[in-house]
Structure 1
Amino acid sequence: MANNEFLQEMSVTFRNMRHSDEMVDVVLVFEETRVKCHRLVLAASCEYFRRMFQTEMQERDAGEIPMKNVSSTTGLLLVEYLYSGNIEMSTENAQELLAVSDRLLLTKLKKNVEEFLCEHVEATNCVSLKNFARLYGLESLLEVTHRFLTTHWKKLIDMQSEIDELTEDDLITLLTTYGSDEGSFLLLQKWVRSSHGRIGRFMDLLQNIELTLFSKEFVWRTIMSDELMQNPKGVKIIQEAMEALLSADRNLSLVVGDFNRNIWISVDGKQWRVIQVPFSECGSYSVTSSSDGFIVSGGLANKTPKRECYAYVTHTRQWRTLPPMSVGRYYHSSICDQDEFIVIGGRINEKSHLDSVECLNLKTLEWSQFPDLPQARCLSNLLHVQNQLFVVGGYLTKTTTARDIYKFDSTERKWQTCSPLPEKCGSVGAVSFDNKIFVVGGQLRSCKQYDPCTDRWVQLPRPRFGHAFGPALTWKDKIIVCGGRGTDSIEEFDPQSDKWSTWGLKVPKQCDMCFALITNGHQ
């Protein structure tokens, strides 16, 4: 008989003997539950019991051994493990099982539970599990929770229980790493208000945040209205931030591009200059702004969808190559939010659209997969509103427009459907402003506002010109739509007055435009 079969049969025999009370000689007491066992089996399978029964501990000859701080449920599972080597783990019992295995010197079980916990790290437990890992010296779990926390830190803003457990050191690490993200201020707000004793730390911790890299709108509406800033030091910080932001406004440049490798920049608002590109044959790509310039991804070259990605750094006027996407695609959409560059949808040919979503971590330069879109599409608008990712419209086929609006639930890791566009809005632009979505331009001269809080649309005054494939952006608290098919006009919408006006500057060509964005630092 093979050794494994022999050991399995022996295990079954011992278990049967325990259940029938044969030759049992000790009782383990878990709360109100008494479990009869064999000293020999306990000593053979657990170092803690072996030492107990071999030394002069008072439990050595005791008929009953109280197992303090072990629940009845976990105690029964533990005894089953000591007799069989098997145990049922769940997210409900894993932490208690690990604590017990650490106490009873069950090294293998402790490692197995740690591996189980590593596979079940999520937004609702990442902070508590990180603290738990520190307590029990769980290096693998500590690494996994740290990586998850630094990647998904924005989810904490809506996780009160996890905010409560976030240590100040971990908070400082997040603030110093992501201090240029507006979400860092929201995280600090929630953290200091989660405990009365933390309020006094607000001003000191605020020094880890780069307010000068936030939008004027955010500083004005969110930071200035916070009562924690209503003190001489806070007022001075706000004044310095606003002065820096107003100064930066004077150095902003407008960058636009079509689908045919032409990219222009206007530094003075009067004339355009060409930006040379490193991809001579590729068009139909996607372009989005980044913290230091913009990123170009994918495209179509010689009828082949491309995977390549390039980043343009404005102040150096240099291009650098990024890791390629896993799938070649064109007419897709992209967005960059701090250290995450996300691409969605697109085409692989005229008849085949994609529903896949990829994310590049710009620090580690590693790609990861997001859940697929509910429906494949191309040429959608991709934007963030209050730290939530939205997909607006697009094309389902070459001629069929999509009215769907999707929101990504970062906690559940799935896409949710929102109230659809009130009318077909192909080739429109969309922007995030004042925590709302504005859909502007397109063939039908659209101008609509969507409020994610109420899931409702409001019709606004239409622009003067049609802007089919005229991209939109926000600039100085206004919404700008740039050119498009059949027009070179740039129009500006003021959400405060609900009025449109036309710029003196025009886009370089009357054609389908791929993108328009604002960048800082180009001379």
Structure 2
Amino acid sequence: MFKSNWILILLFLLILSCKGYKQADFNHKKSWHQVVTSDDSSPIARHEAAFVNVGDKFYLLGGRGIRSISIFDTKTQKWSLGEQPPIEFHHFQPIVFEDKVYIIGALTGKYPAETPVENVYAYNTTTDSWEKGAPIPKDRLRGSTGNVIKDGVVYLSCGISNGHISGHKKWLDSYNLKTGEWKILPDAPRARDHFQAVESDNKIYVLAGRLSKAPSATFKETIAEVDVYDIKKNIWVTLEKEIPTQRAGNIALLYKDDVLVIGGESASQTKAHNDVEGLNTKNHTWITYPSLLQGRHGTGAVLFNNHIYIASGCGNRGGSPELNTMEKY
């Protein structure tokens, strides 16, 4: 009997192998867990904001209105407050370089006719202070861009110039943080806004998002295609496999070999998405990860000590309710 059981197990494993199951599928038995602080502190609720990691601290910044930075200390497991920004920033993907958080390609103002922020801004995590940087070229102004950094150069893709109404861009630009040089690069295959970009192995993955057309089609025109820019070859390609769950306002993050698309919003449901899907950068297949505890859009995520943390955002499509919770995978 014992021997026959082992034969059955071996046959089962062989069947799984023949069907092409990936080892990654078995590693996704992990799940998301609520993060409870040591003193019951919580961050300021916000959405269309950013969440980044510098050193052993997390920084939650921006969002609609002018709100102080929320700082999470991973050593004490407590939230505290940092300096308020000089102006309102929202709809941006932040860039961390050395000890500063850079905001490039943000919007400011009220829905639906928000305007692009005209300068680069930076938050210095060492001094808890804000700096106003160089102006962005006027003919390249827009917000809701997908931003990544590679070797001190920021790459800004796509975006929208007229709030949530019009001015959808295919643009790709680079901005050198050390020299201040701005370059115009080849346009992406298609325009999109309300998304985040990810860099892996000198390739920039531009995925999810939509074409916002307020007030009648703010959420409807989500984008299925995945566009990839090769930094070294200076060319764009579009992958064959589209995103499984179309959504915008999502979070994107590189986790091992997978570009994760986390959360988001769409016309298909009132609740914010709790979907987490991963695009493998080696074979361009999609993998389903465990769902978030709380669906959310309009925020960021950080990878710290092999755990993914996500905080704040909005729990429904649109602007409410704003969340002040954090969970980790």
| Common topology (TM > 0.5) | yes
Unpaired segments ≥5 residues, structure 2: 1-27, 210-221, 308-327
Displacement of 1:337 after TM fit? Answer: 2.4
Q: Does 1:444 align with 2:205?
A: no
Displacement of 1:324 after TM fit? Answer: 2.6
Q: Distance in 2 between matches of 1:316 and 1:269?
A: 25
Q: Distance in 1 between matches of 2:110 and 2:170?
A: 22
| Paired amino acid for 1:473 | L
Write the deviation string for residues 440-496 of structure 1: whole angstroms up to 9, x where unpaired: 223212312111222210111222221322211011122111132244321111121
Match of 1:231 in 2: none
Q: Distance in 2 between matches of 1:273 and 1:328?
A: 29
How many residues are treated as equivalent by the alignment? 251
Distance 1:339 1:491, change over 3 A: same
Q: Where do 4+ consecutive residues of structure 1 move more than 4 Å?
A: none
Write the deviation string for residues 263-316 of structure 1: whole angstroms up to 9, x where unpaired: xxx9x8323315653325x4432222322242111222xxxx205222212232
Q: Which structure dedicates a bigger proportion of its chain to strand?
A: 2
Q: Distance in 1 between matches of 2:126 and 2:296?
A: 36
Match of 1:288 in 2: 52
Match of 2:286 in 1: 500
Match of 2:152 in 1: 387
Which of 110, 124, 128 is matched with 1:361 structurally? 124
Distance 1:429 1:368, change over 3 A: closer
Displacement of 1:521 after TM fit? Answer: 8.2
| Paired amino acid for 1:392 | S
Match of 1:519 in 2: 304
Q: Does 1:378 align with 2:140?
A: no
Q: Distance in 2 between matches of 1:481 and 1:379?
A: 16
Q: Distance in 2 between matches of 1:516 and 1:412?
A: 29
Q: Distance in 2 between matches of 1:469 and 1:456?
A: 26
Q: Which structure dedicates a bigger proportion of its chain to helix?
A: 1
Summarize the alignment of residues 34-113 of structure 1 with structure 2, pairs less than 5 Å apart: none
Contact in 1 for aligned 2:205/2:228 (Cα 8 Å): yes
Q: Does 1:408 align with 2:181?
A: no
Q: Distance in 2 between matches of 1:521 and 1:455?
A: 32
Unpaired segments ≥5 residues, structure 1: 1-265
Distance 1:412 1:521, change over 3 A: closer
Name the Cα RMSD after superposition: 2.6
Q: Distance in 2 between matches of 1:323 and 1:495?
A: 38
Distance 1:475 1:415, change over 3 A: same
Contact in 1 for aligned 2:194/2:249 (Cα 8 Å): yes
Q: Distance in 1 between matches of 2:43 and 2:296?
A: 22
Distance 1:365 1:382, change over 3 A: same
**Alignment TM-score, normalising by the size of structure 1:** 0.44
Displacement of 1:411 after TM fit? Answer: 5.2
Secondary structure of 1:396's partner? strand
**Alignment TM-score, normalising by the size of structure 2:** 0.68
| Paired amino acid for 1:290 | V
Which one has more relative contact order, counting CA pairs under 8 Å at least 6 apart? 2
Distance 1:294 1:335, change over 3 A: farther
Q: What is the identity percentage for the equivalent residue pairs of Structure 1 and Structure 2?
A: 20
